[in-house]
Structure 1
Amino acid sequence: MKERCEIKLKKSTILLAEDEENLRNSFKKILLLYVNEVYTASDGEEAFEIYNRCKPDILITDLKMPKLNGLDLIKIIRKENENIPIIVTSAYTDQSFLLESIKLSLVEYAIKPIREINLSQLLESCANILLKNSKTIINLGNQNFYDYDNKNFISKGNNILLTNKEISFFEILLAHKGTLVTKSDIEDKLYIYEEAPPSALKNLVFKLRKKLKVDVIKSVSKLGYIIE
């Protein structure tokens, strides 16, 4: 594995979704040889909850899981995050999933058990994607910055911590920097797995602006929001 990929992985986190406990625990031990942290989930719903809370850099998910299967989990996450590297693991080849997976931009559909040499190659591919998509620090003007690595806002040298929802909202706008993002598009990505009152987005923006104390988020009346 290339040195820059090793360094990137050592700073990265993985979400591992696997319903078989023994396999999940042994897989986690191997993954920890490569990355900084591994979050584990035993079903799809738990995986999505951890994804929202921890914002992992890489997703590795089993295909067949209780409550929410791997395919539906990936579809939900892809609505919010088009770039996260995803590896699917399965004990057999599922032809219907293979057809579905074409539009989900997977790193690999891997048949279990995965040999360590193959895992190393897959993680190197993930690291290359992370390096390619790395934005690090975005300059928003007037000494205001957004730090992608640490997930915080910097204003005149002061770090401002954001909640997970605020981070997601901010990164949705930054992914379309200079372009209006409609309220409905934002709500579809922010509240994928939960019921939200009509005022939820408005309240989120109000609190975020109050916290930032600078006017980097522009409103377009009745339409949406933009970061220029």
Structure 2
Amino acid sequence: MVDPNALKQVRASLHSYSLLYVEDNEGLNTQATTLFKKFFDTVLSAHDGEEGLEFFKLHRPQIVITDINMPKMDGLSMGEAIHKIDSDVLIIITTAHDELEFLHRSIKIGIFDYLIKPLKIDNLIETFTRCAQTLTEALHRKIFNTNLHAVFNYQNNLVLLLHERNVVIANQPCLDFFGVSNIESLRKQFASFGEILLEHKSFVYNHEEMEWFKHISSHPGRLFNVKIKDLQEVSHHFILTFQSVPEKEGYAVLSLNDVTELGLLKLYDTNATEREELAKDEKMVRGLLEMAMRSGAKIKVHNLYKGLSISNDGLVINIEGKCVTLKSPYVQLKAMQHEDIFYLTSELFPMTIMADGIKRIDFDDQSVLFEHYQLVESSPTRRDTIRVPPDENIRVTVLYEGRKFDADLEILDISLRGIRINFPSLPAGFALKHLVVLDIVITAGARPAIINTQAEVLRITEGNRHFEVVFIFNLSSHGQKNIIDYIAKRQMVLIREFKGIQYEK
């Protein structure tokens, strides 16, 4: 017995589509047409292949059910002619015989289904259910492709489809940028996309150490800086994204976001003096953050909790005036709560951004609002720049011009490159670039480790009744090993300490 719910479901799925039924037997034609009207609002009936083909041309139904053996034109010939007009039409063959020859021929011409007479309602419902699924999927693809075409042509980004590194399709903004009317004209301007990429420091372009396509295709998911000239020979700064096309070897989509108006090009190739000035220009640095926001680029957020490096992904979500809002995971926000200064890195940035001036941390929204930022040369991820605060197992003695200083000296932090010490007072004549000898004693193990090294005064900062002095040094391999071991152990302690504060209110 037929499930009435199944009938309702098929009816609901198919009633808006039209059906053409072709059968030369008058009685069967009338009987089946009446049955089909239970599923479709529009049912057309024809009595031979030629009439069926004419009906199809006139009404364009989405489903055709046809007998095979008919006068004037058989059902398979009619189906083949219909598929030449519209290959998406679903054609169902009915026959009184399970004839292998007909079955093979129906497969070749793309027949949707093959039913044996007399038609059974259960088989018909099963076939109609699959028809409904196929038609729905086709509708979804059509809607998707139509909207994709609209996005492709009317978004502001330049979008290109490449095949074997050559442009085969370009959207309208891309054609407008190069001042051409069609893809053929664009191809005449350059044989391959790599030809238009201009030289610029740290950008992607063809040179002895880089083949542009090999470079971007071997770094999926990354964003790249590129420079391209427009029709008026004006250089533009773009953020390029690359995406290979699944299951279509050799094809890829390039999208280029124009960020020229942010005026960032000079940041990437200035000399050291100019770069130092630009690094302090908050407007320029804000331009980098806006570039990341426009591109939807993930950036790395780094905190140094007492020298312990804590890093997670971040996303710039808003810039209003001087204030920047950044989303980052809860654990990173907890690190910011304890260490006001944090660092932002990205393959898009020419240098690391150091940020502070936190105005609000929102743990519910997982965001931080800050208003100060500048570029710095040092990287928070390089091991030799990690500085850790000491414990009671380390002490230092400073030898300067034959005099020894160890009383009341306080080590503030130590790294593989240097040490920061608090002096209650300074020796007479003590100044920058002066050389001293440091004796550093680490007593954490069974046997004390003694590091004796020459050091240079890098920085002196005067405080209230004390002086902070930074010394830099080049350690021997043995001294490096001892310091690395000490820093690693301190980091393990700090990791446990930080885990303890993660869940503090």
CA contact (8 A) 1:85 1:126 kept: yes
- Secondary structure of 2:19's partner? strand
Match of 2:43 among 38, 41, 46: 38
List aligned pairs for 1:88-103, cutoff 5 A.
88-103=93-108
User: Which has a greater percent of helix?
Assistant: 1
CA contact (8 A) 2:91 2:113 kept: yes
Q: Shift of the alpha carbon at 1:107?
A: 2.5
Q: Shift of the alpha carbon at 1:92?
A: 0.8
CA contact (8 A) 2:21 2:65 kept: yes
Match of 2:27 among 22, 31, 36: 22
Match of 1:63 among 55, 64, 68: 68
Matched AA of 1:11: S
CA contact (8 A) 1:107 1:122 kept: no
The TM-score with structure 1 as length reference comes to 0.58
List aligned pairs for 1:70-89, cutoff 5 A.
70-89=75-94
Matched AA of 2:121: E
- Structure 1 stretches of 4+ with a deviation exceeding 4 A read 2-5, 139-142
CA distance in 1 between partners of 2:132 and 2:109 (Å): 18
Question: Deviation string for 1:19-73 (max 9, x for gaps)?
Answer: 0010000001111111111100000000000000001010000000111101100
Question: Deviation string for 1:75-99 (max 9, x for gaps)?
Answer: 1111122221111001112221111
Matched, 1:129 2:134: yes
**Counterpart position of 1:48:** 53
Matched AA of 1:75: E
CA distance in 2 between partners of 1:18 and 1:43 (Å): 6
Q: Tell me, which stretches of 5 or more residues in structure 2 are unaligned?
A: 1-5, 152-167, 170-181, 185-505
Q: Tell me, which stretches of 5 or more residues in structure 1 are unaligned?
A: 143-177, 180-217, 221-228
**CA gap 1:84/1:90 in 2 versus in 1, 3 angstroms:** same
Same amino acid, percent of matched pairs: 31
**Counterpart position of 2:119:** 114
- Secondary structure of 2:20's partner? strand
Q: Shift of the alpha carbon at 1:100?
A: 1.1
Matched AA of 1:98: L
Q: Shift of the alpha carbon at 1:127?
A: 1.0
CA distance in 2 between partners of 1:60 and 1:12 (Å): 13
Q: Shift of the alpha carbon at 1:111?
A: 0.9
Aligned pair count reads 148
User: Which has a greater percent of strand?
Assistant: 2
The TM-score with structure 2 as length reference comes to 0.27
CA distance in 2 between partners of 1:133 and 1:80 (Å): 17
CA contact (8 A) 2:11 2:38 kept: no
CA distance in 2 between partners of 1:37 and 1:15 (Å): 9
List aligned pairs for 1:135-174, cutoff 5 A.
138-139=146-147
**Counterpart position of 1:223:** none
CA contact (8 A) 2:66 2:93 kept: yes
- Secondary structure of 1:68's partner? coil
CA distance in 1 between partners of 2:7 and 2:119 (Å): 20
CA distance in 2 between partners of 1:114 and 1:9 (Å): 19
CA distance in 1 between partners of 2:100 and 2:72 (Å): 22
Larger Rg: 2
Q: Shift of the alpha carbon at 1:8?
A: 2.6
CA distance in 2 between partners of 1:4 and 1:26 (Å): 22
